Amino acid sequence: MIGVIQHHSARSYEWTIASLQTGVERRADVVCLQEPPRERGEIGISHSAYDMRKEKRVCAAIRKGSGLVVDERTDLSRGANDDVIATDVRRRGEKNTTIINIYDQKDARSGERESPARKLNWQRVIRQGCTVLAGDLSPQSKQWDPRCEVQRDAVFWDSVIDENGLEIGHHGRPTNHWTIEDLESESVIDLTLANRPIVKWTILADNHATGSDHVVIEWEVGVDRQEEADHERVVGWNLAAMTEKDAEAAEKLWRELAKERAQLDAECTEDEVEQEAAWCQEAMSSVLDATAKKIKICASSKKWWSADIKNRRRAVGRERRKRRNSEEAAWAKAELKKSIRQSKRKMWGD
């Protein structure tokens, strides 16, 4: 289970620290912040309980001691790095969970007419396995706010939700409360979307309120266990061992998968090329899984390891057990080292 605090800090240092402190009290693994305060000189956001990853308009904090292995996926956020932080997190024995922290607003100073976050290929991003989108998405839609009378700027995220079968975490509860002069209103603009069930989604009030007009949100998502043990994982396929029959079966399966695929031409877009590359990778993996033997390694595996080295290593062990400092043991050890050097030299030469 991955536990997350989600909050729009409205550029306030105090509200940011308050939401991080809430994360400490609730033992949240990750804190996703939108609109963190701008750094003043060399003074930035920090908290002794969290490792901070900050961009211009979003910030992700990973709790120290949570046991999470973290990998920033800048390849998924490229083109919107100020507004999106994509992070893979996992614990030992678990598959990756990709958490996408989003601030979906136009940048008035850049002059762009569209929010940078909307330029990403979201179909490619969400295809990464267990994926959760969390942040300030701003539009108003009946799909996530039943009280919405006029839909505003919602077509994009409506289509992302529908095309990817995303679950909406909050059941229509308002996440933004604002007052202008004598007018008061509320809306649902802070969303949590996932391609799997969200185990818990709740609004934290009272002791956990920060002062922002956005609520503090807490949610949890389940994780998948790795099919393979950590000490043994698949790193490829043994193509050299494939028979003619295996190769024919692989070619036939590839043709079946590709026959419905439209061919790209010189007029294709960058997004279409990325989608085709991702499809090719997935399809090729499926073909090889079905027709070739998988190559697995463990923590002590070496590419230069061979049957000859294995036998010589056993010989060293036998001679040492007989007599630790015998000439035979020294000779066996020297032959083992020689065999390893030759195997390494051949591997690097190849």
24-68 pLDDT tens trace:
999 999 999 999 887 765 557 889 899 998 888 999 999 998 889
Q: Is residue 262 part of a domain?
A: yes
Q: Which ranges constitute the DSSP H helices of 111-180?
A: 122-126, 155-164
**Whole-number Å distance between alpha carbons of 249 and 247:** 5
Helix pair 270-291, 244-258: axis angle to 10 deg = 140
Q: Is residue 154 part of a domain?
A: yes
Are residues 312 and 215 part of one domain?
A: no
pLDDT score of 229: 40
**Whole-number Å distance between alpha carbons of 218 and 150:** 28
Are residues 79 and 192 part of one domain?
A: yes
Residue ending a domain, among 272, 297, 322, is 297
3-state helix, strand, coil in the chain (%, to 5): 35, 25, 40
Are residues 66 and 210 part of one domain?
A: yes
Are residues 37 and 106 part of one domain?
A: yes
Are residues 182 and 282 part of one domain?
A: no
Instruction: Give the pLDDT confidence of 310-332 residue by residue, as tens digits.
Output: 888 888 888 777 766 678 888 88
Query: Which of helix, strand or coil describes residue 8?
Result: strand
Per-residue tokens: 262: 């439209």
Are residues 287 and 195 part of one domain?
A: no
Q: Is residue 238 part of a domain?
A: yes
Residue ending a domain, among 221, 252, 277, is 221
pLDDT score of 348: 85
Q: Is residue 226 part of a domain?
A: no
Residue 125 has pLDDT above 90, yes or no: no
Place of tokens 């949240």: 28
Query: Which of helix, strand or coil describes residue 294?
Result: strand
Are residues 171 and 23 part of one domain?
A: yes
**Whole-number Å distance between alpha carbons of 128 and 179:** 40
pLDDT score of 31: 94
Residue ending a domain, among 221, 249, 266, is 221
Helix pair 327-349, 307-322: axis angle to 10 deg = 160
Residue type, 62: I
Q: Is residue 228 part of a domain?
A: no
Per-residue tokens: 319: 């001679």
Q: Domain span at residue 316?
A: 307-349
Q: Is residue 166 part of a domain?
A: yes
Are residues 40 and 8 part of one domain?
A: yes
Q: What percent of the chain has pLDDT over 70?
A: 90
Q: Is residue 194 part of a domain?
A: yes
Confidence at 110, pLDDT banded by 50, 70, 90: low
Is residue 71 within 8 A of residue 77, CB to CB? The reply is: no
Residue 174 is given by DSSP the state -
Q: Is residue 250 part of a domain?
A: yes
Q: What average pLDDT is seen over the chain?
A: 83
Are residues 324 and 213 part of one domain?
A: no
Are residues 277 and 189 part of one domain?
A: no
Per-residue tokens: 222: 């389940």
Residue 239 has pLDDT above 70, yes or no: yes
Domain tally, the chain? 3
Count CA within 13 A, CB hemisphere, residue 190: 27
Count CA within 13 A, CB hemisphere, residue 10: 14
How far is C-alpha 42 from the geometric centre of its chain's CA atoms? 30
Are residues 291 and 322 part of one domain?
A: no
- Bin 206: left if φ > 0, else alpha if -120 < ψ < 50, else beta: left
Are residues 325 and 238 part of one domain?
A: no
Q: What CATH number is given to the structural domain containing 90? A: 3.60.10.10
